[in-house]
A and B are shown apart, each in its own frame.
Chain A
Amino acid sequence: MASSMSVSRRRFGRLLARISGSRRQFSSTTSSISIDDQQQQQAQPQPQPRSLNLYSAINQALHIALDSDPRAYVFGEDVGFGGVFRCTTGLADRFGKSRVFNTPLCEQGIVGFGIGLAAMGNRAIAEIQFADYIYPAFDQIVNEAAKFRYRSGNQFNCGGLTIRAPYGAVGHGGHYHSQSPEAFFCHVPGIKVVIPRSPRQAKGLLLSCIRDPNPVVFFEPKWLYRLSVEEVPEHDYMLPLSEAEVIREGNDITLVGWGAQLSIMEQACIDAEKDGISCELIDLRTLIPWDKETVEASVRKTGRLLISHEAPVTGGFGAEISASIVERCFLRLEAPVSRVCGLDTPFPLVFEPFYMPTKNKILDAIKATVNY
């Protein structure tokens, strides 16, 4: 990509974050505290949780990661001054420019560098400025990071690598500031893919990813960087990977999603309840390796499944969930599995409201599935 063009686009991206729309409201009340977290809090008294938005929660996690491990490094384009989304604010001042630094504008270089750094027993926390720009690093992620341990017979590994990237719609990001590329990476044995839905989740999951002995791609819902606010414990805590979370219990239909889409799905659940439909909402949290058991158990209870994601429907991760659950729950299903996802088009700027899997599209699909 032409560097001057992409730089200006990226600066534009920074504006996007500031003026992101308010159509997408996230209710903080449903972001329940995980059981692990509750136990941890009961075990030792901790400072009172503070209200934080999502980027500040990420920032707090990075501060803790660097503070708790002298072998942790944060690097990427523009992270030195705090990052275009402010996620790395204050890190370079506190931990020094040898541990928190800008890299040249080159995604394959960032990930390749991160693999080498991680292979030496460091925690390499790489930032890709937008998930839309992760593709130049695809080879390094897919052919290198994912296979590093396997191909060497476990003589070498780059498990300390975590790649953070803001993903998803933002109101007016167009083709190259809106994509949700998670499905590409879910096809790659050897890496983990994690997407948080809220500030509290983001902090706990990111710390788990950074400390996990496997390379992880961590997609951050950039629409929620400032919009989503909830109380986040001050202390160092981790949330388990590969464990889905039931964030709303119900009996008539199971809804599965991740990241920013959960807030839309939640609104659909609330509206469906008014029509007497009881929805169970599951946050998958880790996409690979994913928690099939939790989804299966829920579908066995409700007999219906709806999956929703922003990425195009064809070949999206919803297809994998659908197929797996049909394999396991075929006789229990009372309706076809429903997918409410992005269209099979490039992400279209002025048509974004049409492209998106909106609350009412989901609500209609809930009703159609329940009344099948």
Chain B
Amino acid sequence: MAVWFSRSRTIGYCLRKKLGFFGLVGHESSCCFSPSFRHISSIRQIGGSYGNPNGFLNDSAIHFRSWRFESSTAETQLDPQYFQEEDDLNQGLDFPGGRVTFTSELRFISESGDKRVPCYRVLDDNGDPITHTSFAQVSKELAVKMYGDMVTLQMMDVVFYEAQRQGRISFYMSTTGEEAINIASAAALSSDDLVLPQYREPGVLLWRGFTLQDFADQCFGNKADCGKGRQMPVHYGSSKHNFFTVSSPIATQLPQAVGVAYSLKMDKKDACVVAYFGDGCSSEGDFHAGLNFAAVMEAPVVFICRNNGWAISTPIEEQFRSDGIVVKGRAYGIRSIRVDGNDALAVYNAIRTAREMAISEQIPVLVELLAYRVAHHSTSDDSSKYRPVDEIEYWKSSRNPVNRFRKWVERNGWWSDKEESELRSSVKKQLLKAIQVAEKTEKPPIAEIFTDVYDHPPPNLKEQEKVLREDIKRHPKDYPSDVSL
């Protein structure tokens, strides 16, 4: 970081404003990646006993154990944030949600806390566990699979991105910078948990066994694509892997996640719903709808926000004025935590704990993962047009989530350079083969234009199919030849 800082003071100054809590500048004063001991101790408490729902505000307590349709007491104890010693606790107003005390002081609640909400992490920048940090033990087998999948995801991005640049596929979106979020969150879930993705979470599918060939088939839109070639690349979906199909509109999956979770709740399933979204998504109306519905319905949803700092070219300072996403949870009555998204063990730990809470207490939980979108938004975007290349480089090298996790795995004696090169060469071969096969596989037949609009094609679609087929006969050169009739 020091190296990066010394490169350009001007940019550094700029970014102090721009980057907000990324904490690049003035590391010592940032509570983001160097939490004070008090914060660490409270985090340990969360790790050890997640019964305390209140995160870093350790000395207040909220209990959201009331079931739907019974009384919904919001807070059984008073939060020191909202009352002072001189307030008369006997003078109060019984109001739906619980007793509200009176105060004679004309006092507004501050628009922000004294400190930014700290960020939970397990590994330091060198991949060493932080002293005093407790975390769930990750076995060698699990750790190696996590690392292997992170590398695979990274390599898939490189190869598919290149395929797009060569004009072989029309579009692509990379996950670079968010490999730990993808893989470690997936690793913390059960395969029965239903995932409603945004679009930058292919690693969850990879973890669940969607093959590189499956990814390639979707990106090429061939007849092996389970989406039948109807959507742009990276709009994956697989019912087999409990992964709902990606749709481009932002945040629409959030209220849907509540409906899915409500069904799990009614069926008393030992599973939850996991809904992914980005920082930009939190500005959408559906974000509000989703979180509010989840809280009111007491639906077991883990909302995972990938706060990567950028919504295409819009930095988070132009997206919201709150301390990120994590603080919004409380306004909805949703337990929440902020986590270092570049620390695979922290992500794993936090999501695993959030999942347990969501299922055992039948409540939603919000997890904000801090990371950086090292990739361009998509292949249609050039992010150097709106952000300094140095900034990208810093996150790519100094804060690389894959390298950090590798250091930890290596230090445990679970990984070697030999294994690394074997993995990389094997994955590369698989990827190249997958692309070749996908490219040669024919497109879905033309009849698939008209199926699945409804359960059965109505007469207007049958008529349109007939007309189209006649048109193709008359003007075969107007249409792609690789789509079979």
Contacts and interface: CB of A to CB of B under 8 A. Distances in A.
Interface of A: 97-98, 101, 103-104, 106, 108-109, 111-122, 124, 136, 139-140, 143-144, 147-157, 159, 189-190, 192, 213-214, 242, 289, 292-293
Interface stretch (B84-92, B185-193, B252-260): B252-260
10 contacts: A101-B69, A108-B255, A108-B285, A119-B260, A139-B252, A144-B252, A149-B453, A151-B227, A154-B228, A154-B451
Given A109-B255, A144-B247, A292-B459, A156 B239 contact: yes
A116 B258 contact: yes
Interface string B224-260: 0111101100010111000011010100101111111
B452 A289 contact: no
Interface string B280-299: 00000110111011001100
A112 B226 contact: no
Given A116-B256, A118-B259, A155 B290 contact: no
Interface stretch (B100-108, B261-269, B431-439): B261-269
A153 B244 contact: no
B262 A113 contact: yes
Contacts of B262: 113, 116-117
Contact of A117 (B226, B263, B289, B459): B263
Contacts of A153: 225-228, 230, 237, 245, 452
Q: Which 6 A-B pairs rank lowest in CB-CB distance, beginning with the nearest?
A: A116-B259, A112-B255, A109-B289, A289-B458, A120-B263, A117-B259
A106 B63 CA distance: 26
Contacts of B411: none
B288 A150 contact: no
Contacts of A192: 454
B290 A109 contact: yes
A150 B230 contact: yes
A112 B231 contact: no
A45 B396 CA distance: 75
A159 to B, nearest CB: 6
Contact of A115 (B256, B451, B453, B458): B256
Given A104-B296, A117-B262, A152 B289 contact: no
A118 B239 CA distance: 15
A140 B290 CA distance: 12
Contact of A113 (B235, B245, B293, B458): B293
A136 B483 CA distance: 38
Contacts of B227: 151-153, 155
A104 B297 CA distance: 9
Contacts of B451: 154
Contact of B452 (A139, A140, A144, A150): A150
A101 B237 CA distance: 31
B460 A106 contact: no
B266 A98 contact: yes
B455 A119 contact: no
B259 A289 contact: no
B256 A151 contact: no
Contacts of A147: 247
Given A113-B259, A151-B231, A189 B453 contact: yes
Contact of B247 (A108, A111, A143): A143
Contact of A112 (B235, B254, B263, B296): B254
B454 A289 contact: yes
Interface in B453-469: 453-455, 458-461
B68 interface: yes
A115 B259 contact: yes
Contacts of A154: 228, 451-452
Contacts of B249: 139, 143-144
A117 B237 CA distance: 18
Given A116-B258, A140-B286, 15 more contacts: A98-B69, A106-B293, A109-B293, A112-B290, A114-B259, A116-B257, A117-B262, A120-B260, A120-B264, A139-B249, A144-B252, A149-B455, A151-B235, A152-B239, A289-B460
Nearest to A291: B459
Nearest to A191: B454
A136 B285 CA distance: 9
Given A120-B259, A150-B230, A213-B455, A109 B292 contact: yes
Contacts of A103: 293, 296
Nearest to A324: B460
B255 A155 contact: no
Nearest to A99: B266
B26 to A, nearest CB: 41
Given A143-B249, A144-B249, A289-B454, A116 B230 contact: no
B272 to A, nearest CB: 13
